[in-house]
Amino acid sequence: MVELKLADYKAEKQPDWCPGCGDYGILSALQMALFELKRDPSQTVVFSGIGCSAKTPHYLNVYGVHTLHGRVLPTAQGAKLANPHLTVVAVGGDGDGLGIGAGHFVAAGRRNVDLLYILYDNEVYGLTKGQAGPTLGLGEKTKSLPKPNPQGRLNPLLLAFSAGYTWIARGYAYDVKGLKELIKEGIGHRGLAFLHVLQPCPTYNDLHTKEWFAPRLYKLQDEGYDPHVPPGLTPEELDKKMAHFQEKALEWGERIPVGVFWKAEVPTFEERLKAYLPRYPEVYPALGQREALDLEGLLQEFAL
């Protein structure tokens, strides 16, 4: 492959996001991460759901699949399992992933397919003009809402943890450099990685703006937080890790942590598949036509 430049990862298509949208920062970080990791664009697929953030794949010069509202994770998992050699990144908004797609979000955690899921969290449904998203707090009223939000806030990190995501991190859309590093680590993680990105929506969310976030964010790793969960911990050590994770995942308000919260080593779904597909992943579904199927052998159990 010829040496690629950063610009080669950018598609010709111009983003149609609002000026100042956090999506720009995430797009840049993703483009830089893929470039720095030297991922072959033809072996890389970015999947997305539906919404503003879901237009991301169209602006990257890698294979892009813009799926259905809430269905990005099952589609992405299908592709990754069928061709485990692909680098797969799934992206979508908070409504997409934790509203309509919540069931898939949870089920994906139980599988641990080797891919990175980036959740763009601006607390609102932007493309339909600012309705409350699943991460907007109870009683909060953005300027786009006629009344305060009567539904409670879902904590993406805790949900990802209970579902079984093996790498859990949070980043900030305007910290492109920090985000890029998190994306690189998430892509490199063996298993299902979840990156929660705090992202102001300058058009509809006047509560959690750039100005609101700036003084509150701090980096977990600057305070010596260790997310790594090595195998073989005693139950007591694991309890301690989990308590620490929970404390940080719940921290919201005056101080908001970003960085890697959890990093565990758990067999991937691909490895689990091997139990009944001994030739996987060497022989994987995308290879197409198999060698001759022994129908005669299969029919033996039905012989009369």
Partner 1 sequence: MDDFTWRVGGPQGGGIETAATLFARAVGKGGWWVATKREYHSNIMGRHSYLDVRLGRKPVQAFREKVDFLVALDGETLARHLGEVREGGVLLYDPKVLDLTVHKLPMLDHRVAEDLSRRFGKADPGLKDLLQAYVEAGVQPLPYPFEEVADRIGAELGVPSLQARRTLNTIAVAASLHLLGYPLEPLLEALALQFKGKVLELNREVAEAVYKEEVPRLSFQLRLNGYEPGRVYLTGAQAAALGKLAGGLRFQTYYPISPATDESVYLEAHTAFQGADVAVVQTEDEIAAVTMAIGAALTGARAATATSGPGFSLMTEGLGFAGMIEAPLVVTLYQRGGPSTGLPTRTEQGDLMFAIRGGHGEYPRLVLASGDIQDAFLDAQKALAWAWRYQTVVVHLLDKFLASMAQSLPKEALEVLRLDGEKRALPRGEGFAPYERYAPSEDGLSPFVPLGTPGGVYWMTSDEHDPVGHITEDPVLREVEMEKRMRKLQTAREEIPLADQYTLYRDGEVLVLGFGTVKGTLLEALDHLEGVGYLHLRLLWPFPEIAPLLEGKTLVTVEHNYSGQLADLVQQETLKRVHHRVVKYNGRPITLDEAVEALKAVKAGRAPERLVLRKGV
Binding site for partner 1 (CB under 8 A): 1-2, 8, 11-13, 40-43, 45, 47, 50, 55, 57-58, 61-68, 71, 73-83, 85-86, 103-104, 106-107, 273, 276-280, 283-295, 297-299, 302-304
Task: Write down the least CB distance from residue 175 to partner 1, Å.
Answer: 28
Name 229's Cβ contacts closer than 8 Å, sequence gap at least 6: 238, 241, 262, 263, 264, 265
Based on CB atoms, which residue is closest to partner 1, 58 or 244? 58
Q: What's the CA gap between 90 and 73, in Å, rounded?
A: 7
- Is the Cβ–Cβ distance between 65 and 43 less than 8 Å? no
Task: Write down the least CB distance from residue 86 to partner 1, Å.
Answer: 5
Task: Write down the least CB distance from residue 102 to partner 1, Å.
Answer: 10
Based on CB atoms, which residue is closest to partner 1, 64 or 200? 64
Task: Write down the least CB distance from residue 55 to partner 1, Å.
Answer: 7
Based on CB atoms, which residue is closest to partner 1, 41 or 259? 41
Based on CB atoms, which residue is closest to partner 1, 117 or 213? 117
Pairing of the two strands 192-198 and 217-219? unpaired
Based on CB atoms, which residue is closest to partner 1, 14 or 234? 14
Instruction: For residue 56, give the nearest of 112, 119, 108 by alpha carbon.
Output: 119
- Is the Cβ–Cβ distance between 259 and 170 less than 8 Å? yes
Compute the Cα dihedral for 64, 61, 126, 152 and give only its sign: positive
